[in-house]
Amino acid sequence: MQVCLFLIGASDARPLADIGELQRAASAVAGLRRLIVHEPIAGQHDARIAAPHDAPSCVLQWYFDGLTLLEAALDADGAVMRALQAGMREQSSPAQAFTQQVMAVRKYAPSHASVAPQHEPRCTYLVAYEGVAQDFNAWLTHYLEHHRPLMLQLPALRELEVYTRIDSRSALPFAPANAMQRNKVVFDDASALTDALASPIRDAMRRDFHALPPYSGATPHFAMHSIYGNLAAY
């Protein structure tokens, strides 16, 4: 199972000055399989959820094939930090720019999705479950067995991933995030996302959400423009 480092940009910051430099520097990160840069998309894309006013300035996803490889890149002056500095240029207060969380990755391919890896920009709906489930095992079981199959039916869906938190160590100078779970659905563009979120499948997903085992906490949803780094084969 792959692991992913989420670096979540503060909503009041713009930490990335040069995505191209970030991607070029990231090619030197040993073991890095994929880097995705997400930037917020303005406007209302989900008629069932109000457009957020606190979207992160960016979200970076760094994928590795194992936790040992990921942790080796997270020294205070290590490869990930050097890549960030290349992308941030001279911007100050890097420690305030991000929060960080390492999570396990579950990947699911829609039956209608293209098989070849994609490097073209896409549109992603990122969701975080920031609270606490009364019984996480029951929550995750229901989510994977009932909610995930509904998500896979969203029209024009290209990718689906579900993430669960794991313990890890990091010397990066960023505060920890501690979402219980995250997920993302990916589409070709913002129009496809908006259409999918207006579909009957979305109604079924909302009904199933209310059928999940007891959970309390925020569930922010963010529409993002996603830029894929041209790294090792995914």
Q: Predicted confidence band at 91 (pLDDT cuts at 50, 70, 90)?
A: low
Please tell me the predicted confidence (pLDDT) of residue 233. 40
In order, the DSSP letters of 75-141 are STTSHHHHHHHHHHTT-S-GGGTEEEEEEEEEEE--TTS-SS---S-EEEEEEEE-SEESSHHHHHH
Over 60: is that where the pLDDT of 92 sits?
no
Q: Which CATH number fits domain 3-228: 1.10.760.10, 3.30.70.3340, 3.30.70.100, 3.40.50.620?
A: 3.30.70.100
Q: Predicted confidence band at 118 (pLDDT cuts at 50, 70, 90)?
A: low
Over 60: is that where the pLDDT of 179 sits?
yes
Over 80: is that where the pLDDT of 116 sits?
no
In order, the DSSP letters of 90-104 are T-S-GGGTEEEEEEE
Please tell me the predicted confidence (pLDDT) of residue 231. 62
Question: Token pair for residue 117?
Answer: 């890896």
Q: Predicted confidence band at 234 (pLDDT cuts at 50, 70, 90)?
A: very low
Task: Using DSSP, state whether 4 is helix, strand or coil.
Answer: strand
| Interval 107-126 mean pLDDT | 79
Residue 200, H or E segment: helix 200-211
Task: Report the alpha-carbon distance of residue 229 to residue 117 in Å, rounded.
Answer: 11
Please tell me the predicted confidence (pLDDT) of residue 77. 86
pLDDT digits (tens, 9 = 90+) for 33-65: 999 999 999 888 887 787 778 899 999 999 999
Cα four-point dihedral sign 27, 24, 83, 226: negative
In order, the DSSP letters of 180-199 are SEEEEEEESSHHHHHHHHTS
pLDDT digits (tens, 9 = 90+) for 146-177: 999 999 999 999 999 999 999 999 999 999 99
